[in-house]
Structure 1
């Protein structure tokens, strides 16, 4: 067990620069949230109407909360639990709640990361299969275990390991995605995909369910309410212009999410597939795509290799949130904390992995993984993000946040506090209205 000063010295290794923070934070959130989750959530929620709701939520509400969470981490230079402890005893409980949410999300996230690893391996072997064939055995379980162990090995080092991976792999992934979007533009389904994106059924914007999914995806895209931003912000260099860095990260993440939609849906319509088929959308569509393209085998290996890298850095980010909290709160060395967290993930993630094997583990007829994603990746992170913003804005004086924003522009402070203070009130009012309508 470490003494206080030894723990601080070991755990407070910062990103080397603002650009390193941006690259690492973008890589942490770009992963599956954009390439896997955004297209399938969009496909299930009506296309264009969902995009309008998603972008509105992102710009008006989610961006200020993102800046607030990173600023809070920079202010405390501690883990998620240590950061929220600043607001009092309830803040400590909330900090651990965030860690538990991240545990739940990361446990199934590692399973999907394992799918990308499996597809990368199959691509290299020239045996790329559609999703039902890939999961006909126990691939989902074996690749989940392999991914979790590999993540533990990388995380046992320090943040520079994540930083190096991010700088090298992100540009290559974006290049491959852009190439696939170009290929998609040549398909007969391109016109139908354009209609799916741009023809908005405005009546759907009156649906509370649509806005719930849009806010859930926006919170998921920018990793709100999950401890990522607080933890990564605690390693940010002091000279960083925080709003500029956050805007850059948000712009990259949102662009990749939209490009993923343009990459997937033209092929979905070209092959006559159903856009609302759920979490297997990308893994069902892309093998068919590569089978049709000249040199598709090599391209598949490159794409799924980079897809795995993007998902893997996101998994590392989730694990970093949890290990940072465990190490700091219990004064453990990084290696010990990593070992404990890895064991927990192997136990919890097995349920999600087995839901896509011949055992077909289900909850109320739905795969365990899908249930956890829908609950933890939707309503729970919205509640978590809104609650965290309220705690930070009502209990931490504005001037303290101002000192770590890295800019003299008071407009940012005003916007962050306007959203953080009054969004929770609006959410409570909205919930009461919905409850009252259901009683009538």
Structure 2
């Protein structure tokens, strides 16, 4: 009976007793505004997840990694491994009702240090993410002016830098407004964005490249599934697109209303982002093959393809304005999610006002992001001959977030008792609890064995 009273009284007393630093943030938790409902949380998380991870990154990753084989590996990674970790991170955020550092501190003093590591990863990823968001804003402005350019022309000057500055300052303004502003933007964005994407897929289905695109999706070279590199990119994309190991889920989860069914909400978000990712591929690749372009164009694939598409279609000004405007809105919502992770940690850990924390974080973004922005200007900043942005995306957006997500899940599963997580899942069944802890506790061991075997096979030349 005493245990039941403890569980029903909520997570605040648990946090205050377990964590000495919890009390110092009590005033912050009391002032936190939650999402207004479960659908509002789903819409906000979907907007944060869909963004550039699906519309920009998924098509170019698929184009560089074998088409259909990449899709198979991605879907397996997503639903077998990544979704349980997603549910775990959201639940952990709901349990602690604090920022990323505060949440990881549940596992001990090392957890607090690790929480700052996660915040730093998100800081780096968001710094170049804002640059790409600036591209979408620039293309929207050009579409309004009726002067949409191919990417080489767009990046011939300093557009990447100026639009990056503009987006960073706009993000700071929205963040000062708080959770409600993000929620409102998400509710408006998602339905309209899906309608426009589906419309462009229908247009793409009538192009000569549709048949080649179908082959690219459905003709799977099964031998490629024995390639550890392919799986690394697939897991990296799955972790990236659901924002695993980046603090997004922990932070957004900390604002969840009490009656939210966490597994159901996470499955809806995962299903939505997967549908949008696949639709983005169906939207872009028919035009890529129709115009004789290479599918492995790289990070600028969408920005190389779509201006030419709209020019060839002769659709007038409205379609590029609508598409790039929504593309910007999707990218911007994802940028806000990343910034919210960093702002929440800075504000709550250093006891700063939201305005002061936002000012500090935006200043950091302007410094870090400039290197990525300048890599697509006449200065052409590079690392080992590659644009700074692409190097950061491959490292921070791939292997590093896989490491972060796996280690973070292991920390939660080994140091937080299962019944604590169960109290905040919003479901009576223990099936999700069992699956979460099975993945979280033993995934590090499985991945270590996989890395060793992949390396051994490569050394023995056994991988085709």
Deviations 1:139-194 (A, max 9, x none): 00000000000000000111000000000111111111000000000000000000
Residue 295 of structure 1, CA deviation: 2.4
The equivalent position to 2:66 in structure 1, one of 29, 46, 54, is: 46
The equivalent position to 2:179 in structure 1, one of 119, 142, 159, is: 159
- CA contact 2:69–2:222 (8 Å) conserved in 1: yes
Residue 131 of structure 1, CA deviation: 0.3
Q: Distance in 2 between matches of 1:104 and 1:117?
A: 21
Residue 409 of structure 1, CA deviation: 1.0
Q: Please name the residue that 2:136 is paired with.
A: 116
Question: Are positions 1:9 and 2:33 aligned together?
Answer: no
The equivalent position to 2:218 in structure 1, one of 185, 198, 215, is: 198
Q: Please name the residue that 2:341 is paired with.
A: 321
Question: Are positions 1:366 and 2:395 aligned together?
Answer: no
Residue 435 of structure 1, CA deviation: 4.5
Residue 90 of structure 1, CA deviation: 1.3
SS in 2 for 1:404: helix
- Equivalence map 1:174-189=2 (5 Å): 174-189=194-209
More divergent stretch after superposition (421-430 vs 111-120): 421-430
Aligned length: 438
Residue 425 of structure 1, CA deviation: 1.0
The equivalent position to 2:406 in structure 1, one of 371, 380, 386, is: 386
- CA contact 2:25–2:348 (8 Å) conserved in 1: no
Residue 432 of structure 1, CA deviation: 3.0
- CA contact 1:28–1:317 (8 Å) conserved in 2: yes
Q: Distance in 2 between matches of 1:189 and 1:433?
A: 39
SS in 1 for 2:409: helix
- CA contact 1:7–1:333 (8 Å) conserved in 2: no
Q: Distance in 1 between matches of 2:29 and 2:415?
A: 25
SS in 2 for 1:156: helix
TM (norm. structure 1) is 0.98
Q: Distance in 2 between matches of 1:430 and 1:59?
A: 19
Q: Distance in 2 between matches of 1:435 and 1:58?
A: 23
Residue 5 of structure 1, CA deviation: 4.1
Q: Distance in 1 between matches of 2:233 and 2:424?
A: 32
Question: Are positions 1:101 and 2:121 aligned together?
Answer: yes
Q: Identify if the C-alpha distance between structure 1 residues 185 and 435 changes in structure 2 by more than 3 Å, giving closer, same or farther.
A: closer
TM (norm. structure 2) is 0.93
Q: Please name the residue that 2:111 is paired with.
A: 91
- CA contact 2:413–2:441 (8 Å) conserved in 1: yes
Q: Distance in 1 between matches of 2:270 and 2:93?
A: 17
SS in 1 for 2:177: coil
The equivalent position to 2:41 in structure 1, one of 21, 32, 50, is: 21
Q: Please name the residue that 1:282 is paired with.
A: 302
Following TM superposition, where does structure 1 have runs of at least 4 consecutive aligned residues deviating by more than 6 angstroms? Answer: none
Q: Please name the residue that 1:433 is paired with.
A: 453
Question: Are positions 1:229 and 2:249 aligned together?
Answer: yes
- CA contact 1:193–1:262 (8 Å) conserved in 2: yes
- CA contact 1:131–1:283 (8 Å) conserved in 2: yes
- CA contact 2:92–2:421 (8 Å) conserved in 1: yes
Q: Distance in 1 between matches of 2:198 and 2:169?
A: 31
The equivalent position to 2:325 in structure 1, one of 302, 305, 325, is: 305
Question: Are positions 1:261 and 2:276 aligned together?
Answer: no
- CA contact 1:291–1:297 (8 Å) conserved in 2: no
- CA contact 2:74–2:237 (8 Å) conserved in 1: yes
Q: Distance in 1 between matches of 2:77 and 2:241?
A: 11
In structure 1, list runs of 5 or more residues that go unmatched.
none
Residue 434 of structure 1, CA deviation: 3.8
Q: Please name the residue that 1:147 is paired with.
A: 167
Deviations 1:46-85 (A, max 9, x none): 0000000000000100000000000000000000000000
Deviations 1:197-228 (A, max 9, x none): 00000000000000000000000111100000
Q: What is the RMSD computed on CA atoms of the aligned residues? A: 1.2
The equivalent position to 1:219 in structure 2, one of 234, 239, 256, is: 239
Deviations 1:8-58 (A, max 9, x none): 333x21000000000000001100000000000000000000000000000
The equivalent position to 2:88 in structure 1, one of 68, 87, 92, is: 68
In structure 2, list runs of 5 or more residues that go unmatched.
1-22
Q: Identify if the C-alpha distance between structure 1 residues 282 and 439 changes in structure 2 by more than 3 Å, giving closer, same or farther.
A: closer
Q: Distance in 2 between matches of 1:225 and 1:415?
A: 18
Q: Please name the residue that 2:419 is paired with.
A: 399
Q: Distance in 1 between matches of 2:325 and 2:149?
A: 15
